[in-house]
Structure formats: structure tokens, C-alpha cells
Amino acid sequence: MKRNIIVLTTALLLSAGAGAQKLSIPNVFRDAEQQTLVMLAEIDKAKNGSKELVSPRTIENDCLRLVKSGDWTSGFFPGVLWYLYEYTKNEDWREKAKAFTANIEKEQWNGSTHDMGFKVYCSVGNGYRLTKDEHYKEVLIRSAQTLSTRFNKTAGVIRSWDHNKQKWDYPVIIDNMLNLELLFEASRLTGDKKYYDIAVSHADNTMKNHFRKDYSTWHVVDYDSTQYGKINKKTTHQGYSDASAWARGQAWGLYGYTMCYRETKDPRYLKQAENIAGFIFKHPNLPKDLVPYWDFNAPGIPNEPRDVSAATVIASALLELSAYSKKGSYYKGLAKKLLINITEHYRAPVGKDFGFILLHSTGSKPANSEVDVPLSYADYYYLEALLRLKKINK
């Protein structure tokens, strides 16, 4: 699955902006349906009778890699199925979405991870939004209760990882911003403000401690568990260096603070989102087609892998931001250009690549893991962005 990065980069730089200026959302969803049918068949083959492997994550060694429900990416494919149902209103997609979502529900009890939002909200959350099934409501509330056990009141943040304790004491990663949406939803569903307060506290402390003066973000902030007001160190785990700007980290920040503004209407969050967008789109290393390299400071630019997953998260966030900001038309224009370029140059051919919709994402370049491959979350946020654009166009 590895691609010739140098050739790809050169071709995209030459062709950026030269393709179609219109984006046919019906055509994209038609192709996405075809790809997902391929994916469903490939999942059956890859499971080989396993009941623990529940969702596709990527392609590894020319094979479809499936993950257990505990993997942080497990909720994205059920979310893709819910988005197909939302767009098509086809009951077959609804039934498939329900079946794959059921495989994730046991994660509501898993307190060993902060990724409850990614796993449960992207699957069960979309299911509840589209069906109002009371069972899904109960799962969401229990999931928020479980996630809230990872919150430390003194530190004011939710602990991200329990692993690598020899490396970090109380690590908090920028990705964690997206898990706050589950807490806001739980507060609405229960009328209990404690979930809202936890989300706001985490967002405030992340804004205070994660961001540099230029609004780039560190990936990992390690708090001192013996003196929670103190920070041990600020590092990166998936970016190029501790001083660099990991592309997907910027995307998580943009998406997270846009969502937090939606939920709170706190103008500080709106300003934060606008400033993060400013960092991204004013950066001299952002390619002409707006699909970022895996790190804005990667040393081999322009011969570095892209990260389409970061691009889709950014596009989806921009479309929501366009509804709140005075610069809404500007953000919408950027998002449309980004989606056009992704659609024209980064999609998998129909019937190929095990049914993934998009190619050329990067998971963790420093670990040489998932470099220049499809990733399930790129597909998820791509369809989400297209649905948001469809609503805005209406």
C-alpha cells in the first residue's frame, strides 16, 4: 500500500486547483456506498470467524486490519454506516449501522481509556441522533459516567493514557478535546451539569497549557500527579519533534474548540478556533492543495507523506466554524477547496483498497506505523464534512 510519495507530492502540487471547481456530493456518496459494500465483504473475510475483531482500521501488509472494540478507532466504521444512512435514508444502511454499533456498546464500561468519545459517540452517538433509541441514550450516559472517572479535579483535566508510565506521569493529549462532545451530550440528556463542568474545565486547561504563542499545539502535556498545578514536560508522540506542529494535532484542536463554542457559546473558544485556523492556513509549509504534510515542520518537505485524515478533520471543523464566525464565507471557501482536492486526488478507485474511501493518511510517522495508507477516521470525517456542506448549501 505504500505509494511513491515524491511522485504523488509533485503531481498534486502541479494539479492543485486545476481540477473540477464543483463538488458532486451525490456522486461521492454513490461511490462511498459502493466502497462500503466492498468493505463489508472484506470484513467478513478478514474476521475469519473471530468475534473480537469488530471494525476496520487500515491496510497493513496488504491485508485489511481489523481491531477490537477497545481500539480507539473502533467507532469510526459504524459512524460511516450511520452517515450513509443519514444521506440515503436507506434502511439497509441503518440495519448495518445498528449491527456494527452493537459491537462497540460494551466500551461504555471501559474506564481504562479516554477515547470514549471516539469509540462510543461516533457510533452510538450518531445512532441516537438519527433514531432517538432510548437504549442508545442509556449507553451514552453510562459512557460519560465512565469517562468522567478519569477527571482529576485538582488538575482540571481528563487523563489520556495509562500506558508508558515510565515516560509520563499524568499525560493529556490534544486528541482528548474531541471526547468532550460526549460529556456535553450527557449533560443535555441527564440535566446534570457535572459533565458540562468537566468538559469546560478540560477545555480551559488545555487552552492554557497545550498551545504555543503561535497557536500551534504540543501533542502531550504531562502533569505532575503529586502536584497537579505543575507540568512536568510538553512533548510530542506522533509529531516530528517536541517543538514541531503535528498536523492532526492542529486538526483536533480546531475541531475541538469549534465544538466547544457550539456547546457553550463562550467567545474564548471561538477565538481559539479562529487562531488555530490562522496558524494552519498561514503556514508556509501548507501545500497549495491544503492537504497538510503529516507534520508542518517535517524535515523532508515537500517529499514527506501527507495526512488526509488531518485534512478531513480540518474540513469538517471549518464548515462548522463558518456558521459561527464573522469570517464564515472565508472558512467555507477553504473547506470547499479542501474537499474538492481530496475528492479529486485522494480517493481510492471504486472496488479497490479493501473498500476504504480515501488514501494517503499517516498515523504515526515516528513509529513508522500507518504511513501513507487509508485510515478509518479519514473516511468518517470526510463523510461528516460532506454532510455538513450539504446542510450549509441548503
Active-site residue numbers?
115, 175
3-class SS of residue 85: helix
Q: Which residue is listed with cell 459512524?
A: 79
- Residues 290 and 277 sit within 8 Å (Cβ to Cβ): no
Instruction: Say how many C-beta atoms besides its own lie within 10 A of residue 114's C-beta.
Output: 24
3-class SS of residue 172: strand
Cis, peptide link before residue 56, omega less than 30° from 0:
no
Give the torsion through C-alpha atoms of 171, 172, 176, 179, to 10 deg: 80
For 295, phi and psi rounded to 5 degrees?
-145, 135
- Residues 327 and 307 sit within 8 Å (Cβ to Cβ): no
CA–CA distance, 227 with 155 (Å, rounded to integer):
8
- Residues 23 and 339 sit within 8 Å (Cβ to Cβ): yes
- Residues 348 and 374 sit within 8 Å (Cβ to Cβ): yes
CA–CA distance, 86 with 82 (Å, rounded to integer):
6
Helices (H) and strands (E) in the chain, counts: 14, 9
Give the torsion through C-alpha atoms of 100, 103, 108, 113, to 10 deg: -90
CA–CA distance, 6 with 295 (Å, rounded to integer):
16
CA–CA distance, 19 with 33 (Å, rounded to integer):
23
- Residues 315 and 250 sit within 8 Å (Cβ to Cβ): no
CA–CA distance, 355 with 376 (Å, rounded to integer):
10
Closest CA relative to residue 75, chosen from 39, 108, 31: 108
CA–CA distance, 46 with 143 (Å, rounded to integer):
29
Closest CA relative to residue 74, chosen from 61, 97, 56: 56
CA–CA distance, 168 with 170 (Å, rounded to integer):
6
